[in-house]
């Protein structure tokens, strides 16, 4: 090992890159390269900040479960603030959605986390709901939580630096090449060499792979819109759970005295600094007004962010099958915050080729391995 070279270069300092870099810095010399001047500018800074163990597909739910302990008991000194604050979540169903609700409640690993509530209890939990929106009742998860995403992200960056890691911002990676048992990574902050490259570039993960002539995982960035609205005078939304249409056609939750609403849109777009579209804002208002007795007049803020999905909607975590030392940590979709601690532990163990830590007991890495797409559209990289 060359004493002047880092062992690992991590590309992207959102929550994925920051968390895995912090885990890897225990054992390796790691440099974290971020294109923007401020880490967290893209998806990480634009989320709805929910931790729910019943949200997402089976692989996502397993990684969320593996993250729970970290959220509630982070390492000492990780953050001056609690990372999570209890916020129940309530999936509600109209009469025509009763089957969808039943199927959700029947999921084996969800059943122990959520309980069925009837329409009356659903309205007691979220008093602004219209009777029609909850006619078939709902599923209530008491153990979900709001995440302090800033504290989580900054905590990982601080831990990373404390463990000797280097963060370089304004470092746009523009070229990647493998040769002589190491990667050469060209960025606007300099050229680096390392044995291992971790691709944590979020919506740009496929673009980064293409710089190295590595086939894409077909990770599709999708725009999602969020709008902060003012509650009617005299109404305090704080006690409400996050309330979600069972078909995920809308959701809303309290947010520091305001109400965050979303049409839960998922529009495929090219990776970019995505902005909200007026139509999506209008759809958010319309859907929430249809499901509730709220009349939304005052919008304080609106934004959009990218949720990036692999074709099967599971994250992509592991070494590329065709390129030595090229590791994927991408495709977290709408769950990259709540899965971050578990995914970082998994990724660090896989990078080091170690057995998985206790938090991931029973987790099958094959469910997220890049190789699961091998038959579909991979081929060995020509060098």
Q: Length of the chain, please? A: 383
- Told to check if 346 binds ligand FAD by CB under 6 A, we report no
Interaction with ligand FAD in 91-110: which residues (CB under 6 A)? none
DSSP summary character for residue 129: B
End-to-end CA distance of the chain: 24
- Span from 38-46, 67-75, 118-126, 162-170 in contact with ligand FAD (CB under 6 A): 38-46
- Span from 31-39, 76-84, 228-236, 365-373 in contact with ligand FAD (CB under 6 A): 31-39
Phi, psi of 185 (to 5 degrees): -120, 120
Closest to ligand FAD by CB, 1 vs 256, is 256
Measured distance CA(370)–CA(377) in Å, rounded: 11
The answer to whether residues 273 and 42 touch, using CB atoms and an 8 Å cutoff, is: yes
Measured distance CA(116)–CA(375) in Å, rounded: 41
- Told to check if 35 binds ligand FAD by CB under 6 A, we report yes
Select the residue interacting with ligand FAD from 197, 201, 217, 244 (CB under 6 A): 201
Select the residue interacting with ligand FAD from 43, 97, 154, 182 (CB under 6 A): 43
Closest to ligand FAD by CB, 71 vs 373, is 71
- Span from 106-114, 201-209, 277-285, 350-358 in contact with ligand FAD (CB under 6 A): 201-209
- Told to check if 336 binds ligand FAD by CB under 6 A, we report yes
Select the residue interacting with ligand FAD from 54, 182, 229, 338 (CB under 6 A): 338
Select the residue interacting with ligand FAD from 7, 34, 53, 206 (CB under 6 A): 34
Q: How many CA atoms lie within 13 A of 23 on its CB side?
A: 22
Concatenated DSSP letters for 135-158?
Answer: TTEEEEETT-EEE-HHHHHHHHHH
Closest to ligand FAD by CB, 93 vs 317, is 317
The answer to whether residues 141 and 103 touch, using CB atoms and an 8 Å cutoff, is: no
DSSP summary character for residue 35: S
Interaction with ligand FAD in 220-249: which residues (CB under 6 A)? 224, 226
- Told to check if 202 binds ligand FAD by CB under 6 A, we report yes
Closest to ligand FAD by CB, 289 vs 303, is 303
Select the residue interacting with ligand FAD from 48, 123, 194, 244 (CB under 6 A): 48
Sort residue 332 into left (φ over 0), alpha (ψ -120 to 50) or beta: alpha
Cα 313 to Cα 49, 107, 339: the distances in Å are 19, 17, 14
Taking residues 110 to 139 in sequence order and writing x for each that binds ligand FAD by CB under 6 A, - otherwise, the string is: ------------------------------
R_g of the chain computed on alpha carbons: 21
Quote the least distance from Cβ 249 to ligand FAD, whole Å. Answer: 15
- Told to check if 68 binds ligand FAD by CB under 6 A, we report no
Measured distance CA(31)–CA(382) in Å, rounded: 27
Question: What tokens does 273 get?
Answer: 């600094």
Closest to ligand FAD by CB, 65 vs 94, is 65
Which H or E element spans position 221? strand 220-229
Q: How far is CA 240 from the centre of its chain?
A: 23
Pairing of strands 166-168, 114-117: unpaired
Select the residue interacting with ligand FAD from 245, 305, 325, 370 (CB under 6 A): 305
- Told to check if 33 binds ligand FAD by CB under 6 A, we report yes
Contacts with ligand FAD, residue ranges (CB under 6 A) = 11-17, 33-36, 41-44, 46-50, 171-173, 200-204, 208, 224, 226, 305-307, 332, 334-338
């Amino acid at each position: 090992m060359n004493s002047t070279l880092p062992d690992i270069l991590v590309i992207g300092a959102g929550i994925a890159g920051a968390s895995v870099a912090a885990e890897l810095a225990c054992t390796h010399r790691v440099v974290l390269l971020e294109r923007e001047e401020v880490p967290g500018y893209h998806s990480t800074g634009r989320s709805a900040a929910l931790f729910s163990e019943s949200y997402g597909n089976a692989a996502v739910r397993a990684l969320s479960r593996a993250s729970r302990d970290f959220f509630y008991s982070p390492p000492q000194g990780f953050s001056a603030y609690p990372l999570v604050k209890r916020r129940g979540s309530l999936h509600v169903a109209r009469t025509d959605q009763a089957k969808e609700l039943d199927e959700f409640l029947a999921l084996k690993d969800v059943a122990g986390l959520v309980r069925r509530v009837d329409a009356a209890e659903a309205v007691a939990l979220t008093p602004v709901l219209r009777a029609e929106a909850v006619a078939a009742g709902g599923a209530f998860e008491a153990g979900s939580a709001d995440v302090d995403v800033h504290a989580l992200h900054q905590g990982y960056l601080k831990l990373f630096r404390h463990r000797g890691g280097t963060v370089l911002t304004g470092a746009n990676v523009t070229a990647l090449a493998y040769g002589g048992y190491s990667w050469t990574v060209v960025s606007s902050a300099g050229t680096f060499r390392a044995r291992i490259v971790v691709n944590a570039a979020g919506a740009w993960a496929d673009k980064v792979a293409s710089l190295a002539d590595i086939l894409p995982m077909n990770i599709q960035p999708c725009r999602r819109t969020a709008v902060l609205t003012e509650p009617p005078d005299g109404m305090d939304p704080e006690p409400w759970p996050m309330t979600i249409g069972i078909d995920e056609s809308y959701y809303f939750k309290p947010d520091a005295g305001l109400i965050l609403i979303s049409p839960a849109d998922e529009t495929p777009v090219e990776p970019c600094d995505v902005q909200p579209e007026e139509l999506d804002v209008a759809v958010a208002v319309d859907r929430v007004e249809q499901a509730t007795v709220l009349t939304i007049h005052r919008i304080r803020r609106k934004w959009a962010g990218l949720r990036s999905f692999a074709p099967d909607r599971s994250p992509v975590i592991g070494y590329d099958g065709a390129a030595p030392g090229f590791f994927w940590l991408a495709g977290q979709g709408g769950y990259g915050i709540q899965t971050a601690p578990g995914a970082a532990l998994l990724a660090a163990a896989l990078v080091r080729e170690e057995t998985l830590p206790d938090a991931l007991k029973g987790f099958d890495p094959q469910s997220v391995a890049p190789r699961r797409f091998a038959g579909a559209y991979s081929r060995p990289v020509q060098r």
